[in-house]
Amino acid sequence: MTEIDPKTQTELEAAVYRRLVAHLRARTDVQNIDMMNLAGFCRNCLSNWLKDAADAKGLELTKDAARAAVYGMPFSEWKAKHQTEASAEQRAAFAKAAAEPH
């Protein structure tokens, strides 16, 4: 494997992040609870991680701005347009996963 310098590594990682966010913006049919149940993270996690990274750099980024950066719109708008009510099965799977040690 070719050795990748740190700057290029960061650029590649940033490109992957942008592609992931674009993919999630396009897949509005995929609910956050399903992502949490299957993968252990969701769009809100990504926005929290973005805010954490900004905080670590001493940059001001609000929770709402971080969510808008991930969702491509204010979270309240995305939620009204795309979020469905979680089923009993989805809620049970979420509760079970949350109770398991990580």
- In the predicted model, what is the mean pLDDT of residues 55-60? 98
Q: What distance lies between CA 89 and its chain's CA centroid? A: 22
Residue that has been written with the tokens 């310098």 in this structure: 5
Q: With bands split at pLDDT 50, 70 and 90, how would you rate the model's confidence at 46?
A: very high
pLDDT above 80 (res 102): no
Residues 6+ apart with CB under 8 A from 20: 46
- The answer, yes or no, to whether residue 47 has pLDDT greater than 90, is yes
- Residue 65 buriedness (CB in 10 A; 0-12 / 13-18 / 19+): middle
Whole-number mean pLDDT of the chain? 95
pLDDT at res. 1: 75
Cβ atoms of 95 and 33 closer than 8 Å: no
Least confident of 28-32, 47-51, 85-89, 97-101: 97-101
CB 33 within 8 Å of CB 94: yes
Domains and CATH numbers, the chain: 32-97 (1.10.3340.10)
> Mean pLDDT across the stretch 7-11?
97
